[in-house]
Amino acid sequence: MVFSSIPFVFFFLPLCLILYYGTSFLPCPGRRLDVQTPSERGKFPVQEQAARGRSRRSPAYGRSCFHGEGAIALKNAILLVFSLVFYAWGEPVYILLMLFASAVDYVNGLLMNRFGSTKGLRRCFLFCSVLINLSVLVFFKYADFAVRTVNGLLGTSFPMLNIGLPIGISFFTFQTMSYIIDLYKRQVPVEKNYFTYLTYVSMFPQLVAGPIVRFSTVNEELHRRSIGMEGFREGLLRFMQGLFKKVLLANQVGALWEEIRILEAGQASVVVCWLGAAAFTLQLYFDFSGYCDMAVGIGRMLGVEIPVNFNSPYKAVNIVDFWKRWHITLNRFFTKYVYIPLGGNRKGRGRMYFNLLIVFFLSGLWHGAGVHFIVWGMLHGALYVFTRFWQEHVRRGNDESVINMRNSGESTADIGIAAEKVTQTERGTAGFCRRIGGKVVTIVSQTATFLYVSIAWVYFRAENIGQANMLLRAACVGEAKKISMDLAECLQPDEFWYVIKVLHLDNLSFSRYILMFLILAAGLYLSMAGKNAQERVARLKYGPVSAAVLVVLAVWCILSFSGVSTFLYFNF
pLDDT grade, residue 553 (50/70/90)?
confident
Burial 155-176 (b: 16+ CB within 10 A, else e): eeeeeeeeeebbbbbbbbbbbb
Task: Write the DSSP symbol of residue 140.
Answer: H
> How far is residue 443's CA from residue 430's CA, in Å, rounded to a whole number?
20
Residue 430: the pLDDT is: 55
Contact assessment for residue 71 and residue 64, using Cβ atoms and an 8 Å cutoff: yes
Tell me the range of 230-234, 351-355, 488-492, 515-519 where mean pLDDT is highest. 351-355
Tell me the range of 32-36, 59-63, 255-259, 377-381 where mean pLDDT is highest. 377-381
Within 10 Å of residue 346's Cβ, how many Cβ atoms?
Answer: 10
pLDDT grade, residue 223 (50/70/90)?
confident
Average pLDDT, integer, range 454-479: 84
Residue 417: the pLDDT is: 31
Q: What percent of the chain has pLDDT over 90?
A: 31
> How far is residue 535's CA from residue 541's CA, in Å, rounded to a whole number?
12
538/200: higher pLDDT? 200
- pLDDT of residue 247 exceeding 70: yes
Residue 531: the pLDDT is: 84
For 323-472, where are the E strands, in sequence order?
none
483 burial level (CB within 10 Å; 0-12, 13-18, 19+): middle
Contact assessment for residue 216 and residue 187, using Cβ atoms and an 8 Å cutoff: yes
Tell me the range of 294-303, 396-405, 480-489 where mean pLDDT is highest. 294-303
- pLDDT of residue 485 exceeding 70: no
pLDDT grade, residue 564 (50/70/90)?
low
Alpha carbons within 13 angstroms on the beta-carbon side of residue 301 total 23
Kindly report, residue by residue over 82-120, the tens digit of the pLDDT: 999 998 887 788 889 999 999 999 999 999 988 877 888
Residue 120: the pLDDT is: 86
pLDDT grade, residue 375 (50/70/90)?
very high
Kindly report, residue by residue over 26-51, the tens digit of the pLDDT: 655 443 333 334 444 444 443 444 44
- Summary mean pLDDT of the chain: 79
Contact assessment for residue 213 and residue 299, using Cβ atoms and an 8 Å cutoff: no
> How far is residue 522's CA from residue 542's CA, in Å, rounded to a whole number?
24
Kindly report, residue by residue over 330-361, the tens digit of the pLDDT: 999 999 999 999 988 888 888 999 999 999 99
DSSP calls for 49-107: HHHTT--SS-SBTTS-S--THHHHHHHHHHHHHHHHHHHHHH-TTTHHHHHHHHHHHHH
Note the Cα 207 to chain centre separation in Å. Answer: 12
SS3 268: coil
Residue 250: the pLDDT is: 86
Residue 540: the pLDDT is: 76
- pLDDT of residue 380 exceeding 90: yes
Q: Which amino acid is at 116?
A: G
> How far is residue 568's CA from residue 572's CA, in Å, rounded to a whole number?
8
Residue 104: the pLDDT is: 93
Alpha carbons within 13 angstroms on the beta-carbon side of residue 279 total 25
- pLDDT of residue 448 exceeding 60: yes
Ramachandran area for residue 353 (φ above 0: left; ψ -120 to 50: alpha; else beta): alpha
Nearest CA among 339, 294, 313 for reference residue 537: 294
> Of 84-98, 222-236, 504-518, 540-554, which range is least confident?
504-518
Tell me the range of 44-53, 333-342, 489-498, 539-548 where mean pLDDT is highest. 333-342
> How far is residue 426's CA from residue 409's CA, in Å, rounded to a whole number?
27
Residue 507: the pLDDT is: 65
Task: Write the DSSP symbol of residue 341.
Answer: T
